[in-house]
Amino acid sequence: MTSFSVGLLGHGTVGAAFHELLDSRANAIEAATGQRPEISGVLTRSRGAFDEILDGADLIVEVMGGLDPARDYVLRAMDAGRHVVTANKQLLSQHGDELWSCARENGVQLRFEAAVAGIVPVIRVLQETLAAAHVDRLHGIVNGTTNYILTRMAETGASYEDALADAQRLGYAEADPTEDVNGMDAAAKMAILARLAFNTPVHLDDVRYEGIEHLTGDDMAYAQELGLGLKLIGTAERIDAGVSVRVHPAFLYAAHPLASVSGPFNAVTIESQSITEITLSGPGAGGPQTASAVLGDVVSAMIPPASTPPTPARLPIVGDVESAFYLHLEVADRPGVLAQIAQLLGLQGASIRSVVQRGLGENARLVMVTHPILESRFYAAVDLIAGLDFMRARPRAIRVIDEEFV
């Protein structure tokens, strides 16, 4: 029997589940590859020594998380000629160039299916199935915590705070959920996806992101009347000769493939003229699910490797993009208000697609959806609207993904 030694860095939620899964699947993997995988060493804060683990390993699995010492260990493993499988999106989105260069120089594989959308096989599809497609755009729900919170708010009318507390109680949100709810976790994943989709370096710093902390149940209720559902959406798209990568709350019409993705699930829609559209969805996190993606990468690395592609050219990052918008306005209930608002929007080139109006005694609430407009022009109009004397509160604006597939 030939054995294949796996050095395991990290033995927490994912690491422990991976260890168990590898042991239970070792026979099947041996039958498929001719080699029997075994864990040859484990590193935690209280157990194991990295150098010894590296010496005894054919491949290193990094499921520690964080940047340091994970970056150092992954680089050292590849310099020593070992393939590396990691689930670490922060590391890849902030040090990806250095890591991919190191893999190429050493002729080893760096695999990372579990870093984006858990078990949903989007990395593999972009790298292999769609390797020859010209991808135009991706939309993703790539953070299960925020998708659970927004689903809960929409279905029960719960406030953001109550929905977050539910998510924490059920284990869908960490005790410190900051990087999930502020959009940074999703931004790291979108940076990785954009790099693969467009073959250009994309750093976390290139991704603009907004979170869901300021959303209200009120916005959801009005949006439902307009046939819209609210999600935290990551977008990566080609614009002219550049790319734009961003994460923000966005409304979707019910016909959009991501509109029905609810609870802690993740999904990614890939658009290309040659393929129309593919949507992949499934559990975005969880120990056993993530471990399964990590083990899939280990098995792939045991089979003779594909070569690591050359360093891609950098495409410009586009800052200002077009979007349709949902606009929520509290105004004094007097004649001519809607006309003035429509005029200010119109001067910037925005036209209104639909409006809901409610009287509230002396005041009124106007909720509208615009047709697509450059974001800078829309916000210029909103700044002018905010200064009008009949406004009773700051306008609230949320992007709308204004497209349907047939």
Ligand X SMILES: NC(=O)c1ccc[n+]([C@@H]2O[C@H](COP(=O)([O-])OP(=O)(O)OC[C@H]3O[C@@H](n4cnc5c(N)ncnc54)[C@H](OP(=O)(O)O)[C@@H]3O)[C@@H](O)[C@H]2O)c1
Where on the chain is the footprint of ligand X (CB under 6 A)? 10-15, 43-46, 63-66, 69, 87-89, 114, 118, 285-286, 290
Q: Please, which residue, 192 or 197, has the CB nearer to ligand X?
A: 192
Q: Please, which residue, 118 or 395, has the CB nearer to ligand X?
A: 118
Q: How far is the CB of 397 from ligand X (least distance, A)?
A: 31
Q: How far is the CB of 347 from ligand X (least distance, A)?
A: 46
Q: Torsions phi, psi of 332, nearest 5? A: -70, 140
Q: Which residue has the tokens 């210029």?
A: 380
Q: Please, which residue, 229 or 286, has the CB nearer to ligand X?
A: 286
Task: Identify any residues that bridge with 244 across adjacent strands, giving them in sequence order.
Answer: 237
What six digits make up the tokens of 92? 């890849």
Distance between CA atoms of residues 123 and 294, nearest Å: 12
Separation in Å, CA 237 to CA 108, 172, 183, 210, 349: 30, 29, 18, 17, 23
Q: Please, which residue, 69 or 305, has the CB nearer to ligand X?
A: 69
**Helices vs strands, H then E, count in the chain:** 13, 16
Q: Please, which residue, 43 or 373, has the CB nearer to ligand X?
A: 43
Q: Please, which residue, 87 or 324, has the CB nearer to ligand X?
A: 87
Query: Exposed (0-12), middle (13-18) or buried (19+): which is 44, by Cβ within 10 Å?
Result: middle
Q: How far is the CB of 168 from ligand X (least distance, A)?
A: 14
Helices 184-198 and 89-106, axial angle in degrees (round to 10): 30
What six digits make up the tokens of 336? 């001519």
The 8 Å CB, 24+ separation contacts for 216-222 are 216/159, 216/160, 216/396, 217/153, 217/157, 217/158, 217/159, 217/160, 218/328, 219/326, 219/328, 219/396, 219/398, 220/153, 220/154, 220/157, 221/157, 222/328, 222/356, 222/365, 222/367
Phi-psi region of 228 (alpha: psi -120 to 50; beta: other; left: phi over 0): beta
Query: 3-class DSSP state for residue 151?
Result: helix
Q: Please, which residue, 35 or 88, has the CB nearer to ligand X?
A: 88
Query: Based on C-alpha coordinates, what's the Rg of the chain?
Result: 24
Q: How far is the CB of 70 from ligand X (least distance, A)?
A: 7
Q: How far is the CB of 126 from ligand X (least distance, A)?
A: 17
Answer for the pair 179, 185: CB distance below 8 angstroms, yes or no.
yes
Query: Exposed (0-12), middle (13-18) or buried (19+): which is 207, by Cβ within 10 Å?
Result: buried
Q: How far is the CB of 150 from ligand X (least distance, A)?
A: 19
Q: Please, which residue, 118 or 211, has the CB nearer to ligand X?
A: 118
Catalytic residues: 189
Residues 6 or more apart whose CB falls under 8 angstroms from that of 380 comprise 348
What six digits make up the tokens of 359? 């009287």
Separation in Å, CA 120 to CA 170, 213, 296, 308: 22, 26, 12, 22
Q: What residue number has its CB nearest to ligand X?
A: 12
Q: How far is the CB of 249 from ligand X (least distance, A)?
A: 22
Q: How far is the CB of 79 from ligand X (least distance, A)?
A: 19
